[in-house]
Chains A and B, each alone.
Chain A
Amino acid sequence: MSARLRGHAPFAAVAVLLLVVAPLALPAFRLDELAKYLCFAIAALGIGLAWGQGGMLTLGQGVFFGLGGYATAMYLKLHDAGGDLPDFMVWSGVEELPALWRPFGAAGFALAAVVAVPVAVVLGALVFRQRVRGAYFAILTQALAAAFVILLVGQQGLTGGTNGLTNFYDVFGRDPEAEGTQRTLYFVTAGVLGALYLGARQLVRSRFGRLLVAVRDGEDRVRFLGYNPATVKTVTFAVSAGMAGLAGALFVPVVGIISPSLLGVVPSLELVVAVAVGGRYALAGAVLGAIVMNYAKTSFSEQWAGGWLYLEGALFVLVMTLAPRGAAGLYEQARDALARRRGTPAPAARPREAAT
């Protein structure tokens, strides 16, 4: 088997698993759950890119997820209302459609993913140009997530407050509760994830990807190679925000709700946890980490709600202490050890990005 083919084999296996096996084997509601995890995986992919490859620990991906989600939800709400005010606005005593909502009536879905990008570009440009980085950047993104949620909760009439936006009756001309719709949405989500994964992998392998790693490991040195690290970081941050936005946009029709509790400091951090557990330096690690962690969260919480927090906390402490490169790192180690035992010399100090 050629190296090129071998590189594609795991991807093909996962694709078959997600597109053929899962839809056949899982009952409808489980498939719907899986679609939800895939949405988180899309956001996690963006984090893998920004954090693992670019060294930007973004603790505010919930904001971009939320921007995409709310944009879609606003479109669906307006569509349901059919020219009238959305239901929750009537309950909140709003009498006229707020100006902020107007654009989402028409172009709705197209706007959804895009709306996160300019926000990330502006924030990234301001912050990276001034060489604010590392923990400072992490803290700022976290503060953004906190402020965003407080804003959403406070602007009841505009955003539906704590309850968020929910009760959609018509998703692109279909009944959102129908099994067929759910199935279609699942395939769309899986397809988007696959396409974005391939795109991200191409980006990592490209010259831009090499440059990104260089910026991560020596931003100041990169400047003396004639590149502006601020541009590289802003572009990457925007791509990552775009992925989170798209994830949010898909999440709304799949799950049927978007609310502040899905976007705040904690959910944003949980996405990062998933990436860390899966392996931050490997894009596939980020994706699988998000799926597995969210699956674990759902099934564990069904048994013992409080226990999940202990487990998540402990898992995180263990991963950071014992395996900072996550499951993907452990897998590579095991593979190298196996190769050594077979007598073929392991490629020494192989760049970690090589594993995808």
Chain B
Amino acid sequence: MTSLLNQLPIGLSIGAVLLLTALGLTFTFGQMGVVNMAHGEFLMAGAYTAYLLQDWAGAQAVPVALPVAFLVAGALGWVLERTAIRHFYGRPLDTLLLTWGVSLILQQAARDLFGAPNVQVVAPSWLTGRVGLSGATLPHARLFIMALAVACVVGIWAYLGRSRQGRRMRAVMQNRELAAVSGVATGRVDQLTFFIGSGLAGVAGVALTLVGPVGPSIGTYYIVDAFLVVVAGGLGQLRGAVIAALALGMLNSFAEFWTDASLAKVVVFAVVVAFLQVRPQGLFVLRSRALT
């Protein structure tokens, strides 16, 4: 029973990482129709940022890296949007392939810069303990990741709902043409969305250093699941992403517990396909009358 209870926080923290990764994707996908396969490499950039900052910040590299990684990954995303992706709007499948090419290059660049073997980021001492929680124990690190995810969700929610920029972003997401003729500079909104979305991947990457080693292909392990979260949650839907990420995280962890790690992925896949039978467009959908 205790071991079953232990799955709960593990599931929650897997969900939290998925959520951090999927948050950026759901907005770039939802707003711009861009399937960014290089998003996983922004995650990697965030993780390596924490690794590099160890020289300077020592054991406190992780907290220091959070804002830095946001900027680094955000800048990478911004450059990608400006140089390539903006020429591809309205062609989601082509952006998928384009960004995969970029992802290959970034991975190989990481291999050349940091070496192919995995590296380790030392967690600060205040993140290495465990807390007891009604029979189950929970590592501080996982608790921290969950808190980080909550903070990011609250931040995004406030940004979308309260700020002028956020409202513009929602306007573009719901109806790009109408927003454009209403005087919203959609191009600038796109840049900002891409910056923030990619920056969040950087933050997720820093969080990942707390649960495992960092390698050039770290992004590829999370990108596929994160896309499943977006698909199950509905495009550009904050609520959907939160629920789907937690559900998939839990499902992963319990399926691993009942079967084994290799079957768990198949179970998750089957559940997502089954779910799409009921809700083909994900949990939440922006309704429109247009015949697509």
Please give the residue numbers on chain A whose beta carbons come within 8 Å of chain B beta carbons, in ascending order: 57, 123, 126-127, 130-132, 134-136, 138-140, 142-144, 146-148, 150-155, 220, 265-266, 269, 272-273, 276, 306, 309-310, 312-317, 320-321, 324
Are A316 and B101 in touch, CB under 8 angstroms? yes
B94 an interface residue at 8 Å Cβ cutoff? Answer: yes
| Min distance, Cβ B285 to any Cβ of chain A, angstroms | 12
Which residues of B sit under 8 angstroms from A57, Cβ to Cβ?
93, 96-97
Jot down 14 A-B pairs with beta carbons below 8 A, ordered by A: A57-B93, A130-B280, A135-B33, A139-B231, A140-B228, A140-B269, A151-B266, A265-B224, A273-B100, A309-B105, A312-B104, A313-B108, A316-B100, A316-B101
* A123 vs B269: C-alpha distance when bound (angstroms): 11
A-contacting residues, B125-142, CB 8 Å: none
Interface residues on B, range: 35 or more
Report whether A143 and B101 are in contact in the complex, using a CB–CB cutoff of 8 Å: no
Give the residue of B104, B227, B266, B277 whose beta carbon is less than 8 angstroms from that of A309: B104
Q: Residues of A contacting B277 with CB < 8 Å?
A: 126, 130
CA–CA, A325 and B94, complex, Å = 11
- Among B84, B93, B107, B292, which residue has the most Cβ atoms of chain A within 10 A? B93
In the complex, the chain B residue whose C-beta lies closest to that of A152 is B262
Q: Closest CB-CB distance, B283 to chain A, in whole Å?
A: 14
Q: Decide if A276 touches B266 in the complex (CB within 8 Å).
A: no
Most buried by A among B97, B276, B280: B97
Interface centre among A134, A315, A320 (most CB of B within 10 A): A320
Q: Contact: B107 with A142, CB < 8 Å?
A: no
Chain A proximity of B61: nearest CB distance (Å) = 28
Q: In the complex the two chains form, is B98's CB within 8 Å of A265's CB?
A: no
Question: How far, in angstroms, from A115 to B68 measured CA to CA in the complex?
Answer: 50
Q: Within the assembled complex, what's the spacing in Å between the Cα atoms of A309 and B220?
A: 15
Least CB separation from B268: chain A residue: A147
Question: Is B273 in contact with A153, judged by CB distance below 8 angstroms?
Answer: no
A321 touches B84 (CB 8 A): yes
Binding site for A on B (CB under 8 A): 29, 33, 35, 84, 87-88, 92-94, 96-98, 100-105, 107-108, 111-112, 220, 224-225, 227-228, 230-231, 260-263, 265-266, 268-269, 272-273, 276-277, 280, 291-292
Nearest-CB residue, chain B, relative to A221: B291
Q: Assuming A142-B227, A154-B263, is B104 touching A135 (CB within 8 A)?
A: no
* A315–B101 CB distance below 8 A: yes
Further contacts, 12 of them, CB under 8 A, given A309-B108, A310-B104: A57-B96, A123-B273, A127-B276, A130-B276, A134-B92, A134-B93, A135-B92, A138-B35, A139-B231, A152-B262, A312-B104, A317-B105
Q: What's the Cα separation between A315 and B29 when bound, in Å?
A: 24
Q: Is the CB of B107 within 8 A of A135?
A: no
Interface class of chain A by DSSP: helix
Chain B residues touching A, majority SS: helix
Q: Which residues of A contact B266 (CB under 8 A)?
A: 147-148, 150-151
Nearest residue in B to A154 (C-beta to C-beta)? Answer: B262
Residues on A with beta carbons closer than 8 Å to the beta carbon of B263: 151, 154
CB distance from A137 to the nearest CB of B (A): 9
How many angstroms from the CA of A132 to the CA of B268 in the assembled complex?
A: 18
Q: Are A316 and B98 in contact, with the CB atoms below 8 A?
A: yes
Chain A residues closer than 8 Å to B105, beta-carbon distance = 309-310, 313-314, 317
Residues of A within 8 A of B35 (CB): 135, 138-139
Q: Which residues of A contact B88 (CB under 8 A)?
A: 320
Q: For B276, list chain A residues within 8 Å (CB).
A: 126-127, 130, 132, 136, 140
Q: Are B231 and A320 in contact (CB under 8 A)?
A: no
* Contact residues in A for B269 (Cβ distance below 8 Å): 140, 143-144, 147
For B107, B263, B268, B273, the residue with the greatest tally of chain A CB atoms inside 10 Å of its CB is B273
